[in-house]
Amino acid sequence: MVIIKALTEQYVAKVKTRTLYEDATPPPSEEEAELRELVRLANRANPPARSGTAPTKRERRNIRRLKRGSD
């Protein structure tokens, strides 16, 4: 939950914007923090599959090696 303390119509530096609001978000419970950590570790272990994107440099090199080997 964020509490807006003031508004401005001009550009304000990032450091000064922190004085315009207050973050009143309650800290996560121990159970929620543990669950977030498990999700973070699971996501790190199983990165999302790349679909529809161009091959990486390493993948392109491997493709070239495979093609040369089959000639």
Q: What's the pTM?
A: 0.44
The label of the residue with tokens 């609001």 reads 21
Q: For 65, how many CA atoms within 13 A lie in the half-sphere containing its CB? A: 6
* Per-residue pLDDT, 33: 95
* pLDDT for 71 beyond 60: no
Q: For all residues of the chain together, what is the average pLDDT?
A: 90
Could you please report the per-residue DSSP string of the chain? Answer: -EEE----SS---HHHHTTSEEE-PPPPPHHHHHHHHHHHHHHHHSPPPP-SSPPPHHHHHHHHHHHHHT-
